Structure 1
Amino acid sequence: MQKNVNVLLKLFIEYLQVEKNYSQYTVEHYKLDIANFSLFMSEQAIPALEQVTYVDVRIYLTKLYERKLARKSVARKISSLRSFYKFLLREKLVKENPFSLVSIPKAEKRLPDFFYEEEMAELFKACDDSSSLGQRNKALIELLYGTGIRVSECCQIKLKDVDMAVSTVLVHGKGHKERYVPFGSFAHDALSIYIQDGRHKLQSGRAPHDNLFVNFRGGPLTARGVREILNTLIEKSALTGKIHPHMLRHSFATHLLSNGADMRTVQELLGHAFLSSTQVYTHVTNEYLRKTYMSHHPRA
């Protein structure tokens, strides 16, 4: 049975990579979800994918809920398996899709966390640009907040991707999609100092590479490294609470919309394939405006 699943999974992965052009990150999620279902099949003594029934799917759902997984996680697993079977149906490798009648649980409505403009100012104050690492940290924060790019995208940026003459950066996004994103004068100044001074010193005597951001050893900076930098800056600042890298992306979108940017422009800058992904920020900005009103209007 395991061999049966592995062979069909390999075909499906090739389809995702070649025809759908999905990113490696997305493909890994599909592989994990299908591998987990394969273990369930072994436990239930189901010999082959074509013998999975709707009843089996309901039992699988029950086991997922018993593990107290978030609704979003359950929905992703069901969506992955539904897509897998849809592909198998297309290739005439199975006769029916047992996941087609299963309703995907609605995800909890959770608004993205973001920094207020005053909080962003405190975060920038925590960047001491008198040192090489401080120059890197300031350039990193300015670029993340100034462009709204994902941390994974930021870590992939090469020196050649940054055009200082026109203040734009070439971003390699999800699904191998590329987009040019502009950045402002603050990011431009911070990047100039970092590239000409801080990065040069951090790379001195190390194996050369062309990644824009480097760690304290001079090697390429990773997403984990970015998280550690942000946590350190939070501890140095007057801010309290937790921070995650995506908060800077959320802050970028929220502040643009709050200051009058149109939804389509923000969608393009964020690299969202669908406008619905960007529309979540309208709820954030409404709450932002409400809090601002309650804090500042004399009759609130």
Structure 2
Amino acid sequence: MSTDTTRVTPVERAVRGWLNHLDVERGVSANTLASYRRDLARYTAYLGERGVSDPASVTEAHVSDFLATLREGSADHPPLAASSAARTLVAVRGFHRFLVLEGDTTQDPAGAVSPPRPPARLPKAISIEAVERLLAAASVGDTPASLRDRALLEVLYGAGARISEAVGLDVDDVDTAEGVVRLFGKGGKERVVPLGSYAAEALSAYLVRARPVLAAKGKGTPAIFLNQRGGRLSRQSAWTTLRAAADRAGLSGHLSPHTLRHSFATHLLDGGADVRVVQELLGHASVTTTQIYTMVTVQRLREVYAQSHPRAR
């Protein structure tokens, strides 16, 4: 912005007024003010290049084009990531909303401009071989806790269960003979999911040989997975179980209970499962949520193609 008061445009004057309002009346932090000042300096420069000097002359098209310029970059500025462009838009929208509230303008040209959506983050999944190493490492000896830990991780992967769903299971929710488990997802939505033979066998071994030992230490609970005091296993303890197994398996990187759920979905799709079936198994309300896993499999296909095809490079 210009420091010569004889050449300050109405837009620049309005920006100064808003920043002063944030500083004096709202008590915004110095760092936030500095960030807004930088963002709006770029905005006013953009408007000035297009001959717009009055806030009342700014249109929604100007704001949208400015946002596109942020994403595409220019000779003076590299392109911004979606999150950084969205932050800049917050400053622009706050500025124009202030002008309307103050009565300086009658319309808000930025109110209907949506921030850019960040790229979908691909779920983290580990290979089938890594899953097998992890599950094998869950069993240390033949203690009740060891049998419980193996059964817990088998259910997380074998049924694609959320950690809250797994630790929330009661004895009546599982039918190991039929190989199915009843899970209660978000909003209490119920679904019945196949367990698979490995998970069913691990659960049977735990229920017959280990759970009675743990239950004897408690006051009686229908929970399947019990802690050493006979009470329901907590989510925190389940996390600890997974981390310990991952360390023993020599698996580097950040693994969480959700990693097994992501791997469950990815491996099903890799094996040819229909996305709608995977949606039901995961308990997703919308297939759009499930479709992000197809991006993982496509990425894997690209990797295999690049490594294997003679004309890939």
Q: TM-score range by the shorter chain?
A: 0.5 to 0.7
| 1:3-51 CA-partner distances (Å, limit 9, x unpaired) | xxxxxxxxxxxxxxxxxxxxxxxxxxxxxxxxxxxxx9xx859xxxxxx
1:288 aligned residue (274, 293, 300): 300
Query: Is residue 119 from structure 1 mapped to residue 130 from structure 2 by the alignment?
Result: yes
Whole-angstrom CA distance in 2 between matches of 1:107 and 1:211: 40
Q: Give the root-mean-square deviation of aligned CA atoms.
A: 3.2
2:216 match: 204
2:274 match: 262
Secondary structure of the structure 2 residue equivalent to 1:225: helix
| 1:197-238 CA-partner distances (Å, limit 9, x unpaired) | 111112223211011111222211121111111111111112
2:155 match: 143
Change (3 A) 1:225 1:292: farther
Change (3 A) 1:210 1:100: farther
Superposed, 1:212-251 pairs within 5 Å as: 212-251=224-263
The letter for the 2-side match of 1:124 is L
Whole-angstrom CA distance in 1 between matches of 2:219 and 2:116: 49
| 1:73-98 CA-partner distances (Å, limit 9, x unpaired) | x99xx9xxxxxxxxxxxxxxxxxxxx
1:162 aligned residue (171, 174, 182): 174
Secondary structure of the structure 1 residue equivalent to 2:303: helix
1:55 match: none
Query: Which has the larger displacement, 197-206 or 113-122?
Result: 197-206
The letter for the 2-side match of 1:250 is H
| 1:51-90 CA-partner distances (Å, limit 9, x unpaired) | xxxxxxxx9xx7xx9xxxx95xx99xx9xxxxxxxxxxxx
Change (3 A) 1:199 1:104: farther
Matched length: 219
The letter for the 2-side match of 1:114 is A
Secondary structure of the structure 2 residue equivalent to 1:196: helix
1:109 match: 120
Secondary structure of the structure 2 residue equivalent to 1:101: coil
Secondary structure of the structure 2 residue equivalent to 1:247: helix
| CA deviation after TM superposition for structure 1 residue 103, in Å | 2.2
| 1:127-159 CA-partner distances (Å, limit 9, x unpaired) | 225111111111011111011111111111110
Q: Which has the larger radius of gyration?
A: 2
Q: Where do 5+ consecutive residues of structure 1 fail to align?
A: 1-39, 46-58, 79-98
1:189 aligned residue (184, 201, 205): 201
| CA deviation after TM superposition for structure 1 residue 108, in Å | 3.6
Superposed, 1:76-87 pairs within 5 Å as: none
The letter for the 2-side match of 1:156 is G
Whole-angstrom CA distance in 1 between matches of 2:305 and 2:170: 42
| CA deviation after TM superposition for structure 1 residue 255, in Å | 0.1
1:176 aligned residue (182, 188, 200): 188
| 1:156-208 CA-partner distances (Å, limit 9, x unpaired) | 11100111221111111111211111110000100000011111112223211
Secondary structure of the structure 2 residue equivalent to 1:170: strand
Secondary structure of the structure 2 residue equivalent to 1:206: coil
Q: Where do 5+ consecutive residues of structure 2 fail to align?
A: 1-21, 28-32, 40-81, 91-109
Whole-angstrom CA distance in 2 between matches of 1:145 and 1:287: 21
Superposed, 1:13-162 pairs within 5 Å as: 44=26, 101=112, 103-128=114-139, 130-162=142-174
Secondary structure of the structure 2 residue equivalent to 1:148: coil
Whole-angstrom CA distance in 2 between matches of 1:191 and 1:263: 28
Superposed, 1:267-278 pairs within 5 Å as: 267-278=279-290
Does the 8 Å CA contact 2:151/2:199 hold for their aligned counterparts? yes
Change (3 A) 1:140 1:108: same
Whole-angstrom CA distance in 1 between matches of 2:272 and 2:151: 26
Secondary structure of the structure 1 residue equivalent to 2:118: coil
1:11 match: none
1:48 match: none
Whole-angstrom CA distance in 1 between matches of 2:26 and 2:179: 58
